[in-house]
A and B are shown apart, each in its own frame.
Chain A
């Protein structure tokens, strides 16, 4: 692995871990086996978040990561930890 790839992966991992922290500490989500699997569905199946959690996650996304979700973007942007991480990366890239 070269330095550029390492740096890219480190940035992504940092975002995923930060999102995982929000899920665990603020939404009280129990991660299966204590492991964050980035493509696990957040709602419906997977981690089984509900509509109240969705509101909290939208607020956290804005306050912690500067991500503003427009109308119609919530359902798509919050499908998994990875999709939320995509939005965070985009927001950070300006």
Chain B
């Protein structure tokens, strides 16, 4: 087992082979413990105003609805990835990318009057399940009613638990918020019931790789000076409200580069320069070898004039790379219909594999 530190918290990076753990996420059910996730409940008459100040995204949320958003700094650069849940007009924030102390300082600094911030990170824990049959494991435990919950919604389950249907791997994903002293028991229960789905616990490196492969923003690797949501292709997480931290900086900002998906048959790494002939046109922000495709995949920031998919004339480290459409992989989850499929009969699902139909490498 290897560990890592994310947001000041020690987490399990991998329990064994990262490639094996990615395969579990992509084919059955993986259980992860994102101990670094911060969870804050924002309560009171000023709760919505506070969230509107600190979150960049649209704040029109029904009770039970979840929205992907961002916390930005005054320069419009992302501080953290955030999912906000409207829980009967109090708001739950699930964030990653900042230490808990920094997050709470930031929230306090921008809180509206009549707002109470409840830090649930010490009293609660998040257990996540990911995979094309994560829904089936959850239905085994919670009843088939869970199948009716749409993506980006949540509900209060029994025993003080809250279940959010979200996920950043491109497969079915659920975050289960449980009282901290019940987290181990929750994982044990999931593994026991999950045996029928070949469920395994995985580390966060596998989750992170699946996130890049499905073009979900990673706050730990995909940021830097001058990089705003516009450079990252995350305008959809930025509302037109003028009242959130970073809004005025973004109002006057024009991006000159765009996050672009790249594939290569040779290793590429963060910081590598992307060239067209002798000209530098960008650099790599994040990369890894994709187990499903057998090639290296990367997010590169490339000058707008060159940032188009389907070009195989750029180079990194002197070797050809190809720009492509994100996401990099096809997901089994897209082909699974919970109304008629099951893990036990997964051979019946018409799925040609994660790389089928995707653009190849030069």
Contacts and interface: CB of A to CB of B under 8 A. Distances in A.
B71 to A, nearest CB: 17
A85 B311 CA distance: 13
Given A1-B276, A33-B238, A9 B326 contact: no
Nearest to A38: B309
A9 B306 contact: yes
Nearest to A48: B236
Secondary structure of the B contact surface, majority rule: loop
B233 A37 contact: yes
B350 interface: yes
Contacts, number: 76
Given A12-B310, A39-B233, A79-B327, A45 B335 contact: no
Contact of B335 (A75, A80, A83): A75
A40 B238 contact: no
A45 B70 CA distance: 14
B308 interface: yes
Interface residue tally of chain B, by bracket?
Answer: 20 to 34
Given A32-B236, A37-B233, 17 more contacts: A1-B276, A2-B277, A8-B311, A33-B240, A38-B233, A39-B259, A39-B261, A40-B233, A40-B235, A41-B236, A45-B151, A72-B335, A76-B330, A85-B309, A86-B325, A86-B359, A89-B310
Interface of A: 1-2, 5, 8-9, 12-13, 32-33, 35, 37-41, 44-47, 72, 75-76, 79-80, 82-83, 85-86, 89
Interface of B: 68, 151-152, 215, 230, 233, 235-236, 238, 240, 258-259, 261, 276-277, 305-306, 308-311, 313, 325-327, 330, 334-335, 350, 357, 359
